[in-house]
């Protein structure tokens, strides 16, 4: 199977390195920055953490023409880059190519389906934690489950092959007939963790050491759960707040992706996480004051360093 991973961020590098090291597929990493792609091509991907350190050479390019048509494309770009990324990789798609999104937040599946057709789209979430230390240099901070499925709930033979690649590469992976519930379950975890870490500069584990941050986490999660219940979405855990706190413990040393974005003065995914809860709340008549404040504060920080329109 030929797999193209789009985006050399923390998760894109992690999957590329482990898939290649375990020889489970012909892997290509697609970067939109030629200089960075050249650097990673020369140095390889450096992975440290969880008792291991290694340097893995990978196929990486910034040119679509370098990559043959592929069986699977995995999107690991930020949600605000979804549309441009999927348009760029269209030449790689054959009749049997699947496009898997392992991105944060809401709306990615719908946007991809509009461009490539819903039959090609797989949704997914991953609870693996990784921190980007530099170009092609990551720290593997925490292992967790990856879940993949289709919105229509159907399971296919290619999906079982994709699951096997992940599992044999060291990523515990299963298929689900209710990927919407899975995505919402991951969204609620991100709602509780990402913006709050971005604002406080705390690690995931430190969030639950302070009564103040623990209370804000609880409020944000409670608002999101109310919306999920209103939409009749079945979450995969019975106690959402306890679940978010357990994720904080399991990935205690991890810097959330949103905190990494703030530290690197990049645009965040706040609009598709806490901002999505605010929009959904407005449409359903559910108050979301904690998520509104978190969204506005993250946007205030962004406004300091992002270019003005």
Instruction: List the chain domain ranges.
Output: 2-177, 181-305
What's the per-residue H, E or C state across 121-162? Answer: EEEEEECCEEEEEECCEEEEEECCCEEEECCCCCCCHHHHHH
Q: Which of 78, 120, 150, 186 is catalytic?
A: 186
Q: What is the pLDDT of residues 263-274, one digit of tens each?
A: 999 999 999 999
CA 270 to chain centre: 13
Nearest-angstrom CA–CA distance, 160 and 33: 33
pLDDT tens sequence across 100-112: 999 999 999 999 9
- Cα dihedral: 20, 11, 130, 244 (round 10): -130
214-218: long-range pairs with CB below 8 Å, 24+:
214/245, 216/290, 216/294, 217/192, 217/193, 217/241, 217/244, 217/245, 218/192
d(CA 185, CA 179): 10
pLDDT for 173: 98
Please tell me the distance from the alpha carbon of residue 189 to that of residue 248, in angstroms, as a whole number: 9
**Tens-digit pLDDT profile for residues 285-296:** 999 999 999 999
- Residue 277 pLDDT level (bands cut at 50, 70, 90): very high
- pLDDT tens-digit readout, 71-82: 999 999 999 999
Query: Percentage of the chain with pLDDT > 70?
Result: 100
How many whole angstroms separate alpha carbon 48 and alpha carbon 209?
Answer: 26
Query: Angle, nearest 10°, between helix axes 211-230 and 240-250?
Result: 130
pLDDT classification of 258: cutoffs 50, 70, 90? very high
User: What pLDDT was estimated at residue 74?
Assistant: 98
CATH 3.40.50.2000, domain 181-305, yes or no: no
Residue 280 predicted with pLDDT over 90: yes
pLDDT of residue 148: 98
76: three-class secondary structure by DSSP: coil
Note the pLDDT of residue 209.
96
For the segment 14-27, the average pLDDT, to the nearest whole number, is 96
pLDDT, position 292: 98
- 186 annotated active-site: yes
Which pLDDT score, from 0 to 100, does residue 131 have?
85
- Domain 2-177: top CATH class: alpha beta
Please give the mean pLDDT across all residues of the chain. 95
- In the three-class reduction of DSSP (H, G, I as helix; E, B as strand; rest coil), residue 213 is classed as helix
Segment holding 228, helix H or strand E = helix 211-230
Structure tokens at 294: 């978190």
The pLDDT > 90 percentage for the chain reads 90
Confidence check: pLDDT of 234 > 80:
yes
Query: Residue 137 forms beta bridges with which residues?
Result: 46, 134
| Other Cβ atoms within 10 Å of 239 Cβ, number | 10
Summarised one tens digit per residue, pLDDT across range 33-45 is: 999 999 999 999 9
Of the pLDDT bands very low, low, confident and very high (cuts 50, 70, 90), residue 144 is confident
For position 309, what pLDDT does the model report?
63
């Amino acid at each position: 199977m030929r797999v193209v991973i789009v985006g050399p961020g923390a998760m894109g590098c992690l999957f590329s390195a482990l898939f290649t090291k375990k020889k489970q597929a012909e892997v290509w990493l697609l970067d939109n920055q030629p200089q960075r792609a050249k650097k990673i091509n020369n140095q390889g991907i450096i992975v440290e953490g969880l008792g291991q350190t290694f340097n893995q050479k990978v196929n990486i390019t910034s040119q679509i023409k370098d990559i043959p048509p592929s069986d699977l494309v995995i999107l690991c770009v930020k949600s605000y880059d979804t549309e441009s990324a999927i348009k760029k990789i269209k030449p790689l798609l054959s009749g049997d190519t699947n496009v898997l999104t392992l991105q944060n937040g809401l709306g990615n599946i719908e946007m991809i389906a509009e461009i490539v057709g819903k039959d090609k789209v797989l949704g997914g979430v991953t609870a693996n934690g990784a921190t980007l230390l530099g170009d092609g240099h990551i720290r593997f901070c925490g292992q967790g489950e990856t879940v993949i499925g289709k919105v229509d709930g159907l399971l296919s033979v290619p999906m079982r092959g994709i699951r096997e690649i992940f599992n044999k590469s060291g990523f515990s992976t299963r298929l689900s007939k209710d990927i919407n519930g899975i995505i919402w379950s991951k969204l609620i975890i991100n709602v509780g963790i990402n913006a709050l870490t971005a604002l406080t500069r705390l690690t995931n584990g430190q969030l639950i050491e302070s009564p103040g941050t623990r209370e804000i986490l609880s409020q944000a999660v409670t608002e999101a759960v109310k919306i999920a219940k209103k939409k009749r979405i079945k979450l995969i855990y019975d106690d959402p707040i306890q679940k978010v706190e357990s994720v904080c413990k399991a990935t205690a040393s991890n810097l959330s992706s949103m905190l990494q974005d703030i530290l690197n003065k990049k645009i965040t995914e706040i609009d598709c996480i806490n901002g999505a809860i605010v929009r959904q709340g407005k449409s359903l008549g559910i108050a979301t004051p904690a998520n509104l404040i978190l969204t506005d504060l993250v946007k205030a920080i962004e406004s300091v360093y992002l270019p003005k329109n």
